[in-house]
A and B are shown apart, each in its own frame.
Chain A
C-alpha cells in the first residue's frame, strides 16, 4: 500500500511540469477567457460583468462580425478543398516508388515550413502587388494585371493561393495513406480491366477515406484559425475594405488594438463553437463515407 502511494507520488512528480503547463497555460486561460467574455475589460481597469451583452452585440449590432464571418467562410470554403486536392494530387504523383522520393517530399514540404512565416507573407505581398512578379508574368502574355491585394474582390484569393501552396503537411499524410493501400487491390483491378479513373474513385478514394477525413478535420480547424498571412498581407488592418478581415485578425485587433478584451474573448468562444460545429459535422457525416477496415460492427 505504502509502496503504491510512493510509486504514484513519483509518477505525479514527473507529471508536474506538464500539469502546471496544462492548468496555468491552457485550462486557466481558457476559463479566464470564458469569464472575460461576459465582461467589459480594457486590460487596464478591472473587468466589469456585463452578462450576455458582448454576445448580443456581436450577433445583433456588430456588422464587422458578420463581415469577418463572410471572409473567413469564403476562405475556408476554397482553401480547405483546394489544398486537399492539391495535396492528394501531388501525393499520388509521388506514390510511384521513385528513388528520389525523399528529396521530392522535402522539396514539396518546404512551403509548409516556410508558409506560416512572416517573411513569406511579405514575399506574397510583393508577388501580388500591382508591379509584382505575377503581373509582370501576365504582362508577358499580354494580360493587364490588377492590384491583386489592393483590389477587395481579388485579395482573398491571394490568401487562398498561399494556402494551396502550403500543401506539404496533408500531402505527407496522404502519401503515407497511399502507401498503406495494398498493391494487390490494384493488381486485382488491373486483371479486371479497371480504368484509371475507376481505380481512383472505387479503390483509392474509399481506401484513403480515413486519411481524407483526418486531413479534412485538421485543415478545417487550421483554416478557421488563419492569422499571420492575412495580418501581414493586409498590414494588420484586414483591408482593403475588410476583404482580408479573417476572424482571428478581427479578434486580435479587438483585443490588442482597441483593448476590448472582453469582447475579443467572446469572439474567441464563438470561433471555438464554430470550429467545434464544423468538426462535429465532419464526424457526423463520416459514417456515410469513411470506411475503417478494422471497424467493429
Chain B
C-alpha cells in the first residue's frame, strides 16, 4: 500500500507531507527491496541497476555514475557484468539494495529482505544495512518477522498483528513497556515469562496471588476492578536464590550459550519458567532450584491482555 502496488480502501498515506493515495508507485519517490530480490534474471547486474533510471530518461553518464557509486557502496563492483544466477544469495540481496539506492529515493521499503539468507549472512547483512542507513540517512520502512532485526535496526517499531497496530515505539519502549501481552511475548528472546494471577482483598490490602510464587501486595497506585491478571517477568529479571518473590522449581533444560545460560524450569504447578544467567555455575537437568524476582521488574496485564499502567505514559 505504501509502495502503491495495492489500493487502499480508507485513510491517507503521506510521504514527506505529500498525500500519495492516488499517485502511481513510480511517482511516490520511493524504492523497494523485495524478499525474493526481484532481479531481472536475463540482465546483468549493471543492467539491473540501470533499469529503473533508464525509465526516467536520465542522461547515460549520470546513470553510469549512480550505478558505479551504488556498486562501490555495496562492494559489488566485480559483479557488475554477471547475471543474477551467477550470484550468491547475499550478493543478490546487495544488488537488490543497489537497485534501490541508485534511484536516490525519499523512502526505502524493505520487504523482509534478509529472510532468504542463511543465519550467518543475515547477521552480516543486518550490520551492513545499519551502516547503509547511517550513510544515507534516508527513511527506511523495514518489514520483518525477526524481532532481532527489528530491535537492532529500528529507531521506531510498529508491531502489527493481523493488520492491526499493536504498538508503536522505540525498541526500548517496546521492551520495557509492552502495551499488551502480544507485544510482551513477541519482543524479547528468550520469551518473557507469563504467570496467571488473581487479585484478592480490597483497597490497600489488595494482593496478587500467583500460585507457585505465593501472595504479595499489589502496587497501591493500580486502579481497582481487576480480578484476573497476567504477570510477566523477563528471563533476565529472574534471579537464583534472590528476589522478594520466590518459588522452587525443577530444571527441565539447560541451554549453554557461552556468555550466558538459559535455564528452563518447571514450577510445581507445571507452569514453565525461563531464566537467563551470566554466572558460570552449571545447572543440571532435574536439579531443584529456587528462583525469584522483584515486583518492580514485573509487567501487569489485565484479563484482556492490555498493559496495566502504574503512573507511566505509553505511546500506543
Interface, chain A (partner B; CB < 8 A): 182, 184-185, 187-195, 198, 202-203, 206-207, 209, 291, 293-295, 297
Most-contacted residue by chain B among A190, A206, A297 (CB, 10 A): A190
A185 touches B38 (CB 8 A): yes
Interface presence of B26 (CB below 8 A): yes
Q: A190-B5, A203-B40 are in contact. Are A295 and B85 (CB under 8 A)?
A: yes
Contacts of A297 in B (CB 8 A): 85-86
Contacts of A185 in B (CB 8 A): 38, 40
Query: What are the 7 closest A-B residue pairs judged by CB atoms, nearest first?
Result: A193-B26, A192-B52, A184-B38, A291-B42, A188-B38, A206-B42, A193-B55
B31 touches A193 (CB 8 A): no
Give the contacting residue for A192; candidates B26, B34, B36, B85; CB below 8 A: B26
Give the contacting residue for A195; candidates B27, B41, B55; CB below 8 A: B55
Known interface pairs A190-B25, A191-B4, A297-B85; 17 further A-B residue pairs with C-beta atoms within 8 A, sorted by A's residue number = A187-B25, A187-B32, A188-B32, A190-B5, A190-B26, A191-B25, A191-B26, A191-B32, A191-B52, A192-B31, A193-B27, A193-B52, A198-B55, A202-B40, A207-B41, A293-B85, A295-B85
B54 to chain A, nearest CB (A): 8
Contacts of B41 in A (CB 8 A): 207, 291, 293
Contacts of B51 in A (CB 8 A): 189, 192, 194, 202
Using CB atoms, name the residue of chain A closest to B109.
A191
Using CB atoms, name the residue of chain A closest to B37.
A184
Interface presence of B220 (CB below 8 A): no
CA distance A267 to B6 in the complex (A): 60
B151 to chain A, nearest CB (A): 27
Interface, chain B (partner A; CB < 8 A): 3-5, 24-27, 30-32, 34, 36, 38, 40-42, 51-52, 55-56, 85-86, 99, 103
Most-contacted residue by chain A among B24, B41, B51 (CB, 10 A): B41
Give the contacting residue for A187; candidates B5, B24, B40; CB below 8 A: B5
Contacts of B30 in A (CB 8 A): 191
B309 to chain A, nearest CB (A): 41
B56 touches A193 (CB 8 A): yes
Q: A190-B26, A195-B55 are in contact. Are A184 and B86 (CB under 8 A)?
A: no
A235 to chain B, nearest CB (A): 49
CA distance A35 to B216 in the complex (A): 105
Give the contacting residue for A190; candidates B24, B40, B86, B103; CB below 8 A: B24
CA distance A220 to B301 in the complex (A): 72
Contacts of A295 in B (CB 8 A): 85
CA distance A182 to B24 in the complex (A): 20
Using CB atoms, name the residue of chain A closest to B5.
A187
A-B contact pairs, 7 of them (CB 8 A): A188-B32, A190-B25, A192-B103, A194-B26, A198-B55, A291-B41, A297-B85
Give the contacting residue for B85; candidates A198, A202, A207, A294; CB below 8 A: A294
A191 touches B86 (CB 8 A): no
Using CB atoms, name the residue of chain A closest to B28.
A191
B13 to chain A, nearest CB (A): 15
A294 to chain B, nearest CB (A): 7
Contacts of B5 in A (CB 8 A): 187, 190-191
Contacts of A191 in B (CB 8 A): 3-5, 25-26, 30-32, 52
Contacts of B32 in A (CB 8 A): 187-188, 191
Contacts of B4 in A (CB 8 A): 190-191
Q: A193-B26, A297-B86 are in contact. Are A187 and B34 (CB under 8 A)?
A: yes
CA distance A203 to B36 in the complex (A): 16
Contacts of B31 in A (CB 8 A): 191-192
Contacts of A209 in B (CB 8 A): 42
CA distance A295 to B41 in the complex (A): 11
Contacts of B40 in A (CB 8 A): 185, 202-203, 206
Using CB atoms, name the residue of chain A closest to B33.
A188
